Structure 1
Amino acid sequence: MREIAGTSNLNRQVAEVLREAIGSGELRPGELYSVSRLADRLGVSRTPVREALLGLADMGLVRIERNRGFRVVRRDPRHIAEVFHLRLLLEVPAARLAAHHADQALLDALRHELAQMRAAAADHDEPRFMHHDRAFHELVLGSCGNALLTATVANLRATITTVGASTADQTRSLADIAAEHEPVLTALAAADPDAAAEAMHHHIVHTGELLLAQVSAENDAPVAASDAELLRGASTG
């Protein structure tokens, strides 16, 4: 767990460090942690730690136990399934629509983001990779001319990122993730709506299925049939 740098915005800094520790698994789900010991470890008082934990509790990441400490909440497979089901319902039709009017500027921008993803993958730089991954999807969504659509998907992605769920370099490599974007770009360049929808559907379902299996394993349980069915339930039509 990295140390706190400086004294400004302590609550925000502590919350960021805790989110990173939760995402990396350094703070393990279900284990009881002491606020005072954590404060000592970070070199800050207990007040900013408590304030940061209240915010994380509101986000559903931790559960505070009065006079005892806090526990990291186990990641919920159903939440993963619901988020990816919504992404399918929004991003697959968006890819289909984008294929009808993808111009050279959009295609060039998508090629740039994919090239940057590959470069970041070669450097094993996950934060940089995910920045360009998000940018690729936002370009496709943005081409539909609906700012609310783009913002909604960004929020859905953020709910997954916030709880630290990621397949990157766990169940697949960054290069593998980048490769799943190539068929989307190829279909858009060919102005093929069906192929664009199918490629986006495959990418999102694959990501969701890997995360669902990963989080279910963390909870020592098989993937629930209802969760798997929900995730795959949105068609490409």
Structure 2
Amino acid sequence: MPTPGRSPEVQLSPSTRARTGPPPEDRPGPSPESQLSLSPEAQLRPPPEAQLSPPEGAQLSPPPESQLSLPEARLSLPEARTLADAVAQAVRDGVAAGQLVPSRTYSVYQLAELLGVSRSPVREGLLRLAEAGLVEIRRNRGFRVLPPRAHDVEEIIDIRLALEPAAARRAALFGTDEQHALLREVLDRMASAADADFWAADRELHDLLLRAAGRPRSAAIVAQLRTTTALLGPPTTASGRTLAEIHAEHVPVVAAVLARDGDAAFEAMRTHLEATGALLVANL
């Protein structure tokens, strides 16, 4: 009589045992080598093919032919008001010197390392160059140099022609005596200034004329356009124009403003801007 609570044992005939094999408890278990026992850390570890470090002795595939290693370029960080300005100027200098060419894509990381700065000012400087039309930023790839176009400079000069001659007329008619005195002072400073000081005085003179005309928004627009022009190509002095000649072009503008001759101020500014634009295009 079977024991209560236990199932009676089933007796198999020898032929049945041969067909079904030994009972589960008699079957051999898996070998230790076939059992997978991973610690929590091991379970989180990526498989070998997903790891970033190549095996010892492995050869990395070369970069694409369209990408130039920036350490091959000789770029240096010039002095500037901000690091972003310095980066933008370094790239522009590299383009002018033929170190950076339009047919290749360059790495932002390598540029930051080469110039010895963080990636933030590099990105900011490249954004300024992109706004100027000098580079194209390729997402997740880097940046590509774009050759400057005469059309870009012509468009900038056209915008300035729409703003500055009319502003010179208004500065002559409506500018205060104090504003006129300051214009004379800056013009005199230009006469004896050299290099960076001269260009700073040049910018200040144009800015003062726009503000004396009551056109602060136009002043901000022109300041940005002049920054873009500087990034697109060399200054007009590269074609042999001297600083004394540039100063001489400003003299009739200021003289007309001080004489409160609006029409003469308009014509003098228009003549100056047209001459500047023609030389800038010729230098590209």
TM-score (normalised: structure 1) = 0.71
1:113 to 186, 190, 211: 186
Cα distance in 2 between the residues matched to 1:103 and 1:74: 44
Q: Which residue of 1 aligns with 2:281?
A: 212
Q: Which residue of 1 aligns with 2:145?
A: 72
2:160 to 87, 90, 95: 87
Shift of 1:165: 4.4
CA contact (8 A) 1:188 1:196 kept: yes
Q: Which residue of 1 aligns with 2:270?
A: 201
SS of the residue corresponding to residue 74 of structure 1 reads: coil
2:76 pairs with 1:2: yes
Q: Which residue of 2 aligns with 1:147?
A: 216
Instruction: Provide, for residues 80-109 of structure 1, a one-character-per-residue CA deviation record: whole Å limited to 9, x for no partner.
Output: 111111111111111112222344322221
Cα distance in 2 between the residues matched to 1:82 and 1:117: 27
Q: 1:142 to 1:31 in 2, by over 3 A?
A: same
2:126 pairs with 1:63: no
Unaligned runs of 5+ in 2: 1-74
CA contact (8 A) 1:64 1:71 kept: yes
TM-score (normalised: structure 2) = 0.61
CA contact (8 A) 2:88 2:126 kept: no
Instruction: Provide, for residues 108-153 of structure 1, a one-character-per-residue CA deviation record: whole Å limited to 9, x for no partner.
Output: 21121112222223xxx2x222211111111111112232222222
Instruction: In structure 2, give the amino acid aligned to 1:17.
Output: A
2:123 pairs with 1:51: yes
2:170 pairs with 1:97: yes
Shift of 1:33: 6.3
Cα distance in 1 between the residues matched to 2:169 and 2:232: 30
How many aligned positions are there? 203
Q: 1:23 to 1:57 in 2, by over 3 A?
A: closer
Q: Which residue of 2 aligns with 1:158?
A: 227
Q: Which residue of 1 aligns with 2:104?
A: 32
CA contact (8 A) 1:171 1:210 kept: no
Question: 1 or 2, which has the higher helix percentage?
Answer: 1
Instruction: In structure 2, give the amino acid aligned to 1:148.
Output: R
Shift of 1:29: 4.6
CA contact (8 A) 1:166 1:211 kept: yes
Instruction: In structure 2, give the amino acid aligned to 1:109.
Output: L
Structure showing greater radius of gyration is: 2
Choose 24-33 or 154-163, whichever is displaced more. 24-33
Q: Which residue of 1 aligns with 2:205?
A: 136
Instruction: Provide, for residues 141-190 of structure 1, a one-character-per-residue CA deviation record: whole Å limited to 9, x for no partner.
Output: 11122322222222222221233442134441222111110011111122
Cα distance in 2 between the residues matched to 1:176 and 1:76: 26
Unaligned runs of 5+ in 1: 6-11, 216-237
Counterparts in 2 of 1:179-190, with a 5 A limit? 179-190=248-259
Shift of 1:58: 3.9
SS of the residue corresponding to residue 245 of structure 2 reads: helix
CA contact (8 A) 1:4 1:42 kept: no
Instruction: Note the aligned Cα RMSD (angstroms).
Output: 3.0
CA contact (8 A) 2:130 2:137 kept: no
